[in-house]
Amino acid sequence: RLANAVTPLWRLPYQEQLQVKYESQRKILQTLTSRLEELGIDAQKLGGFCCPLQPVVPSPIINGYRNKSTFSVNRGPDGNPKTVGLYVGTGRGRNIVCVKANHVENIPSKHKQVAQCYEEFICHSPLDSCILFHEGGHWRELVVRTTSCGHTMAIITFHPQQLGQEALATQKALLREFFTRGPGAVCALTSLYFQESTMTRCSHAQSPYQLLHGAPHIFEELLGLKFRISPDAFFQINTAGAEVLYQAVGELCQATEDTVLLDICCGTGTIGLSLAHRVSKVIGVEVVEKAIEDAQWNAAFNGISNCEFHSGKAEAVLPQLLASWEDARPLVAVVNPSRAGLHYRVVRAIRSCRSIRRLLYISCKPEGEAMRNFLELCCPPDPRKKLAGEPFAPVLAIPFDMFPHTVHCELVLLFTR
């Protein structure tokens, strides 16, 4: 049941998985075409689509490709309230159980090993797991991040409830001891973090990640560059797949040495830095402050001097940045937002900047909020919505399989005007 829930295509041969994904992307493109027609835009071009849809680009690695896994702590099928795994069931059905992920094919063995050791630790702890916040308990999520350089970071989330500083210090010391000298030493963690959190999700700014052991960062190599990764920084989940994706993005940008590349939602700067040698300048914008620190370090470490990175919400930073844009150099935008898509003010700023003639939108959920963005980019000027500027048009769609065994794809849509 767990494999079917988190990797629903796992029983299919890989070529069949790619065909299933192609069909789902085809439906998304058909929906976009219909929605554009509703806006009065003549979108019927090739084969009834608003733009050509290329075959799904396969992932170089099919099994164990995830470089980040998030494990929950809850009751298992056997009733053990300290099971570390992934959820099966629904809240509405009141049948949620936490199942060990040992058989799930997209999770690497190192992640499974750390999860098993964490379960062993909390099972010997006198403190309860925190299943419902108001019912007490302490032990919560485990995040494991790994890199091809052999680094492993574990982040343990802990609900402090009413524990004082001395009791918290004791738990942290026990964790450190377990993973450095105890049974957990087999995991060979290069970084062990602890976060006290009274919320479902908690940023570093809300409650700092506390380093209990090892180095503050892990490092990854991608397209000949070295990248530093903080606990909460975004990095594509499939590193080998990201290399293929970023190489394609570089080609689609058609950037020259005169081009300025605008990298919106840039994370640790991977896209901008990997393309920096092709362009005149890279400008990155990212909301996670620690990720921007990583991006700046990554640029300096790799000897890249033509990049600048801005920390803050894109909807606050970008309108100011583009409103006064007077640079004569061609400006290409690459956007790689979360599933929530781009804020309306970001789309408005992009539309209003006449220098942006080419835009690449990378979406992990194109049928969601990204669809709203596509329509906002392409619709005729609308004074009521303060959407000015010449509209964009989609000219090419390429799906990349960053998530084998799942139904998801990363869709790259190229817009021009």
- Residues annotated within the binding site are 236, 286, 336
In single-letter form, the type of residue at position 89 comes to: G
Question: How is residue 326 written in tokens?
Answer: 């007077």
Listed in sequence order, the residues at least 6 apart from 69 whose beta carbon sits closer than 8 Å to its beta carbon are: 101, 107, 108, 111, 115, 143, 144
Rounded CA-CA distance 216/86 in Å is 27
In single-letter form, the type of residue at position 152 comes to: T
117 an active-site residue? Answer: no
Residue 143 three-state SS: strand
Torsion over CA of 210, 211, 216 and 218, rounded to 10 degrees? -100
393-400 and 410-416 strand pairing: antiparallel
Burial of 15 (0-12, 13-18, 19+ CB in 10 A): exposed
**Alpha-carbon 64 to chain mean position:** 17
Residues paired with 241 in a beta bridge: none
Rounded CA-CA distance 49/41 in Å is 12
Listed in sequence order, the residues at least 6 apart from 286 whose beta carbon sits closer than 8 Å to its beta carbon are: 265, 266, 267, 292, 295, 309, 310, 311
**Phi and psi, residue 22, nearest 5°:** -60, -45
Rounded CA-CA distance 74/84 in Å is 7
Per annotation, catalytic residue among 50, 130, 364, 379: 364
Binding residues for S-adenosyl-L-methionine: 236, 286, 336
Rounded CA-CA distance 287/41 in Å is 34
Residue count (the chain)? 417
Residue 327 three-state SS: coil
Listed in sequence order, the residues at least 6 apart from 408 whose beta carbon sits closer than 8 Å to its beta carbon are: 364, 365, 402
Task: Tell the residue number behind the tokens 């040992």, with chain if given.
Answer: 102
**Phi and psi, residue 166, nearest 5°:** -65, -45
Question: How is residue 183 written in tokens?
Answer: 């049974």
List residues with catalytic annotation: 364
